[in-house]
Structure 1
Amino acid sequence: MEQSILELKSVSKDFGDGNSTIRVLKKINLTVNKGEFIAIVGPSGSGKSTLLSIIGALLTPTVGEITIDQQIVHQQYNKKLNQIRAKKIGFIFQSPNLIPYLDVYSQLRIVAHIAKIDNRQGERRAQELLKRLDLSHRMRNYPNELSGGEKQRVAIARAFMSDPSVILADEPTASLDSVRGRNVVEMISQEVKSSNKAAIMVTHDERMLDLCDRVYNMEDGLLSQK
């Protein structure tokens, strides 16, 4: 029997616009099981990034329910919500957003600190990820000394660092060429399959969709499977 990690039930999101309200997401229902990697495609402004922000507990749904590992995310108090973000969710963005004054190793160790991972365990996890992503020789380099592809691999390692249940990738290949972009998506897929995680990738790059288990289309705030 398949086990779900992430569930969305009738999730809608409204934003105020002067005296009116715009419904950006409309009754989204979605289940992602262990070991599943899904993609969401659709035009700009269709609600894809808003959906990722809600799943990642950066926004609160107007109505509906988001559950990660059987916990209803938006019903948690702030301290608990911060811990869910730190331990349960890994974000990968279009831009690596690395901290300029931290070397590669420290970029990962700060995640371990935020997620309250034991020091020794954090050291092992960081070294293992850097080795797996071919970054061990760069661990003492700073972001301005890295190539674009290396920066994105560091961002991936950072997202994996807390061993999250859910990985959210928002246009992770947009700033990379097709070869490096495919390498990035393959790394996400391998992590999902080997560690039984759930992952959602928002992308405009349809060349990457064969690496995903399911593909959804979002348009005008509605989500449908392709």
Structure 2
Amino acid sequence: MNEIEWGLLFDPQLALDSFPYVLSGIWYTLLIAIVSMVVGLIIGFFIALARTSNLLFLQWPARLYISFMRGVPILVILFLLYFGFPVIGVEFTAMQAALIGFSLNSAAYMAEILRSSLSSVDIGQWESSKALGLTYWQSMRRIILPQSVRIAVPPLSNVLMDLIKASSLAAMITVPEMFQKARSVGAREYDLLTLLILVALMYWAICSVMTVLQNYLEKRYAKYL
């Protein structure tokens, strides 16, 4: 029986030497994830409101948007933005295409999360706020949102971690984030496996930090339950 040659599986020295270079791509990874999360959250909030509206001209476009973005792979969206739009005279840099693509795509998922979170707040809260003379937006900001945020934190945290991991797809349109840098080193050194293990551990570390942040936010908003 052949023994496993561990040196071919993972080269610690190569991983150590390559770590600073691969780590330099973390800023692109985090920029894509955080900007897409913030922009997607803003867009998703208004889509969620349109989705729950009684007005069909708001509700159906929101449904169509959510259906399309959830049904199309993000890689296809990135390719359309970066390679397809220049055909009609609209050009984006690789980073712009990544930010737009991930923001629009994540907005659909966050819209559904926010919709369900807002719907979970008891209707009596709305009635009480109206009795106090609060406007729709005052009720939303002071009463409804604080209660729904606690419910939305876990699934929204999952979206953020998915964005961090999915940002590796931006390498397909030449964004120099962590995966793209790891892939270039692996190809140059003829040891892709070592670099894949290294970058996997780096993504795991980042997501572990996000989990700590999630736990803090859950405790922070627990008082609204």
- TM-score category of the 2 structures, normalised to the smaller one: under 0.3
The structure that has the greater radius of gyration is: 2
Whose helix proportion is higher, 1 or 2?
2
What is the TM-score when the length of structure 1 is the normalising length?
0.24
